[in-house]
């Protein structure tokens, strides 16, 4: 069993502390690391937001999110000890007022102590926040800043934000977070590929037919509708989550697992993506928006009803991407993501090529290809789908079954979740799970090609009923090449 090693003492300032991300993810993540002994008693948590309030008032707000899942007396005792280290400071990052001095006074005066500044804020304010920190000389040598995705809305805005942050913090002190990179199964993908001889010889166009990456959500836009309607599925999910997963599947073996070696190989993948333009966008990209339907047996409204207007924002996108390099020439990468789909799931399907000659006979007329199924959520695990003989007399019958590695079944320990793991990585200064500046900008360059093609009028928006897996056109994206989306649960 892995040992949870305490990190060095640190101060963390969570900007936007009264927001959804901070209350649902960041404060609970820090609390859980405290409960497991990874955060020491001489660390402190400073919540920062515009609204004036007392320490106790903020603690009460945060407590509701902690105890709705675990209201036990033991948890309440641990929370009481944890909150002795948690304070609140009112800071308006858009103004350079006295409240910045209040923040400075709340921090440990020892400038050698590790400091984390987590910007759970709109990306447009990142430059202002960094300027405020610099004005108070809070960008100390051991200070690290964490930027939430998406950084910008296109290549030029991302570059502008990176420039603004880079004026205050060195690149090695900037942690651009994508919580998917903190998931256990995502990290295990590198080990699966590069620590097992079995896969690497066939992990190329000779052995793999195609790759599918799905990130499906059953929820609608909900409380994020205001942000989401300005962003859409392409900016919100493809530019970061899906492209990062594609990079880990497609990257060349790095010289080592040090941060820059891994991130350099991911950058090569992004640069190898064949551009999608107005000439091919209608063949390679499908846009959709959910309409009224049912999810989990309950009726739900359409997107236009939720946001209160007939908007052209896509809530679903499916893409056929190609990599122009030797390893992946001719191997399509199909990516799709959407809201109000049939189920919540994130998975990578690596489908291998069929056997060259069927000597044993098919099952229902089809000899199924081998597939490697990497499930990120909800049930983390890895399955290798194989053809095998159905036991028993009466002739040779074949069955398509998985060799199954379920994390829940094989590992008893309850290890840290993505945000918990990533926060501890920031304290340790481990950049390997975070995006480098050139990665972010390369991803935006490719996505911008799709956005420009849509802006030129090649942007038909297809409706799909809530509770389904997107528009019919997304299935046709594969069907025209005699392929189909693989549903790991159904199989």
Residues 6+ apart with CB under 8 A from 264: 254
Give backbone dihedrals phi and psi of 38, rounded to 5 degrees, phi first.
-85, -25
In this structure, the strands spanning 316-321 and 285-291 are antiparallel
Q: Which of 192, 171, 184, 193 lies closest to 431 in space, CA to CA?
A: 171
Catalytic-residue membership of 410: no
Strand order in the sheet with 174-176: 86-90, 44-49, 10-15, 114-119, 143-147, 174-176
How far apart are the C-alpha atoms of 367 and 351, rounded to whole Å?
13
Catalytic residue among 87, 179, 210, 241: 241
H helices within 68-174, ranges in order?
A: 73-83, 98-106, 126-135, 155-166
Give backbone dihedrals phi and psi of 316, rounded to 5 degrees, phi first.
-145, 140
Q: Which of 199, 44, 30, 204 lies closest to 109 in space, CA to CA?
A: 44
Dihedral sign for Cα 9, 14, 18, 21, please. Answer: negative
Residues in the chain: 491
Do the Cβ atoms of 20 and 124 come closer than 8 Å?
Answer: no
H helices within 385-485, ranges in order?
A: 407-410, 418-428, 437-455, 472-479
Q: Which of 325, 316, 336, 332 lies closest to 480 in space, CA to CA?
A: 332
Place of tokens 């903020």: 58
C-alpha dihedral (307, 308, 311, 315), degrees to nearest 10: 30
How far is residue 456 CA from its own chain's centroid?
29
The backbone region for 429, taken as left when phi is positive above 0, alpha when psi lies in -120 to 50, beta otherwise, is left
Active site residue ranges: 241
């Amino acid at each position: 069993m892995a040992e949870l090693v305490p990190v060095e003492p640190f101060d963390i300032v969570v900007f936007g502390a009264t927001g959804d991300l901070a209350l649902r993810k960041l404060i609970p993540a820090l609390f859980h690391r405290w409960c497991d002994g990874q955060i020491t008693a001489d660390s402190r948590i400073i919540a920062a937001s515009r609204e004036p309030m007392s320490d106790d008032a903020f603690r009460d707000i945060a407590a509701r999110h902690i105890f709705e899942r675990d209201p036990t007396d033991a948890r309440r005792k641990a929370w009481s000890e944890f909150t002795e280290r948690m304070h609140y400071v009112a800071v308006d990052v858009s103004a350079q007022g006295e409240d910045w001095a209040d923040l400075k006074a709340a921090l440990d005066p020892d400038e050698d102590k590790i400091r984390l500044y987590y910007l759970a804020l709109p990306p447009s304010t990142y430059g202002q926040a960094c300027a405020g920190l610099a004005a108070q000389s809070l960008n100390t040598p051991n200070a690290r800043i964490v930027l939430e995705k998406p950084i910008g809305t296109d290549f030029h805005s991302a570059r502008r934000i990176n420039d603004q942050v880079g004026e205050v913090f060195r690149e090695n002190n900037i942690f651009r977070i994508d919580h998917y990179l903190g998931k256990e199964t995502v990290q295990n993908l590198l080990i699966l590929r590069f620590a097992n001889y079995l896969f690497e010889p066939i992990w190329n166009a000779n052995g793999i037919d195609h790759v599918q990456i799905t990130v499906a959500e059953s929820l609608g836009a909900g409380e994020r509708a205001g942000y989401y309607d300005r962003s859409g599925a392409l900016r919100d999910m493809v530019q970061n989550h899906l492209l990062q997963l594609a990079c880990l599947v497609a990257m060349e073996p790095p010289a080592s697992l040090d941060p820059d070696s891994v991130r350099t190989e991911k950058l090569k993948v992004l640069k190898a993506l064949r551009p999608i333009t107005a000439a091919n966008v209608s063949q390679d990209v499908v846009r959709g928006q959910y309409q009224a339907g049912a999810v989990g047996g309950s009726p739900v409204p359409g997107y236009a009803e939720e946001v209160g207007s007939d908007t052209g924002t896509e809530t679903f996108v499916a893409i056929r991407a190609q990599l122009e390099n030797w390893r992946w020439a001719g191997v399509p990468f199909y990516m799709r993501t959407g809201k109000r789909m049939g189920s919540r799931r994130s998975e990578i399907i690596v489908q291998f090529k069929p056997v060259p000659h069927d000597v044993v006979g098919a099952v229902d007329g089809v000899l199924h290809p081998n597939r490697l199924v990497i499930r990120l959520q909800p049930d983390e695990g890895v399955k290798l789908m194989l053809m095998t003989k159905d036991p028993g007399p009466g002739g040779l019958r074949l069955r398509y079954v998985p060799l199954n590695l379920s994390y829940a079944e094989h590992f008893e320990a309850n290890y840290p979740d993505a945000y918990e793991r990533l926060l501890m990585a920031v304290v340790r200064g481990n950049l390997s799970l975070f995006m480098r500046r050139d990665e972010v900008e390369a991803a935006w360059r490719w996505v911008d090609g799709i956005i420009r093609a849509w802006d030129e009028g090649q942007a038909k928006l297809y409706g799909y009923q809530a509770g389904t897996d997107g528009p019919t056109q997304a299935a046709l994206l594969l069907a025209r090449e005699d392929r189909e989306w693989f549903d790991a649960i159904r199989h």
